Amino acid sequence: MNKFFDKYKKNPHELHFSEENMLEIGVYNNTLILDLYDIFVSICYHDFFTPRDENVDNSSKLKITVPVNNYNILKKVIPNICELVMYMTNGEKWNICVEKDSNLKKIDTGRLELQTEKYNSVCLLSGGLDAFSGAISEKDNNTLFVTTETNPTEVINAKYIYGQVLKEKQNRHLIVRKLDLNENSHYTQRTRTLFFLANSLIYADYFNINKVKMYENGIMSLNPKFYFRRIVTKTTHPKTIYLINKILSELNINIKIVNPYMYMTKTDVLNKIPEKYINYIKSTKTCSKNHGIQALSNRTEGETHCGLCTACILRQISILNLKLTEKDSRYMLPAKMREKKNILSYERQISKPNKAHLISKYANYKYIEKKSLLEYYERYCELVRSGDIYNYLDLNPKYFEEKDYFDRIEKMLNKFEKEIKNYLDSMEK
């Protein structure tokens, strides 16, 4: 079972790379990297498009077999890959297998090897605010900016940011597009980091670059779960990065995944953007909600953020603390709105004529979502003050290279607690 291979009768590396995103490279044939690529990306597609319920045993649906050239080498790290994916999918048990493929893997663009430019850095460029901030620091570093398309808006934002801010003679922007498998629904994004990083590994290996940089604020990376209504992701958690790097090391692949923003709040991240680029904040997208949700259908053009997800609230916290509200994107629910009567009144104002009978339903959805998020961050403050937050962070010294990691996380959390308080104090009374 392998949703990608079963659909296309080809491995992922065969359909994600071409002349469009392989620069002037003629042939890429590191079979070990390509094997790992096919494993990671096959896992992602299987995770994305497998329907299942939460909090039940889904192991019968999560069996996957991937053809590989380096069978004996990769079989040894399968337990580590299973551990990684189980962590990223909140404890789901996966049965990941490899089988011997005698056809040597390669990416053949069909052209002569004309690649002469050299690059110093590989950096993920998602179209989000953190990625934008980090990418600016890579602008003068002969950088390959790699965007993985998980939705069209992400690519539009990334292309615009690259063209307006990051485009220099020595840099290139590469886009790897996701295939939809013609499935009706996309169920989860929890393993998407594996897709992003797998795409970057090929470029890093070809150009002998030993680090792939992914910029994500430390608050979102730690993403603690202490509130029953929240389902958290572990896409950039220190343990996730540690487990990926452990797999790379055991395969003797000389590449590390690093998150230079691990000890920063989103306010810190935003504050690193030079003044001359502040106006581009509006061109980044942070929102993690599916905008096809019926309750979000009453919106006006230009409202690119829901204002009802963790990512949006983190963005609002950072924007408010730096007094940059006028520079921010527009939200489907105004940032300072929390009272049910006001949300209902606002819904009446924006409602489309054919949805008048749904005003109360839509307003109630928004009220409950915003209320639960504010309760979450109120609780976050309490846990930081009491020190009990560490019961929910899953920290271990082996996940960090920095010896002072705990002190740096403590400093970040104390700063974040003050940022949350400022945000909550700004809410309508």
Instruction: Tell which phi-psi region holds residue 142, choosing left (phi > 0), alpha (psi between -120 and 50) or beta.
Output: left
pLDDT of 410 strictly over 90: yes
203 Cα distance to chain centroid: 19
Residues of the chain with pLDDT > 70, as a percent, come to: 97
pLDDT value of residue 90: 86
**DSSP assignment, residue 224?**
-
pLDDT digits (tens, 9 = 90+) for 259-301: 999 999 999 999 999 999 999 999 999 888 776 778 888 877 7
Give per-residue pLDDT as tens, 79-120: 999 999 999 998 899 999 999 999 999 999 988 888 888 999
Mean pLDDT score of the chain: 92
Residue 421: pLDDT over 90: yes
Confidence of residue 416 (pLDDT cuts 50, 70, 90): very high
What φ, ψ does residue 368 adopt, rounded to 5°?
Answer: -65, -45
- Interatomic CA distance for residues 4 and 418, integer angstroms: 46
Q: Report CA-CA distances (Å) from 188 to 146, 175, 229.
A: 22, 21, 17
Q: Work out whether strand 95-100 and strand 63-68 pair parallel, antiparallel, or are unpaired.
A: parallel
If you ran DSSP here, which 8-state letter would residue 333 be given?
Answer: S
Mean pLDDT computed over 365-377: 93
C-alpha separations of 175 from 20, 125, 138, 199, 315 in Å: 8, 9, 17, 9, 25
Bigger pLDDT: 150 vs 202: 202
The whole-number average pLDDT for the span 165-171 is 93
Class for the domain spanning 3-258: alpha beta
Is residue 4 very low, low, confident or very high in pLDDT (cuts 50, 70, 90)? confident
- pLDDT tens-digit series, residues 214-263: 999 999 999 998 865 556 789 999 999 999 999 999 999 999 999 999 99
- Checking if the pLDDT of 186 tops 70, the result is no
DSSP summary character for residue 207: T
pLDDT of 195 reads 95
Residue 262: name the closest of 401, 87, 145, 85 by CA: 401
pLDDT confidence of residue 227: 65
SS (H, E, C) 48-105: HHCCCCCCCCCHHHCEEEEEECCHHHHHCCHHHHHHHHHHHCCCCCCEEEEEECCCCC
Phi, psi values for residue 212, rounded to 5°: -110, 125
The pair of structure tokens assigned to 253 is: 């692949």
The pLDDT of residue 159 is above 80 = yes
- For 340-367, the pLDDT digits (tens) are 999 999 999 988 888 889 999 999 999 9
- The 8-class DSSP code of residue 166 comes to I
Q: Cα–Cα–Cα angle for 224, 230, 232, nearest 5°? A: 50
Q: Is the pLDDT of residue 377 over 90?
A: yes
Q: What pLDDT, on a 0 to 100 scale, did the predictor assign at position 166?
A: 96
Residue 190 has pLDDT above 90, yes or no: no
Domains of the chain, by residue range, sit at 3-258, 289-425
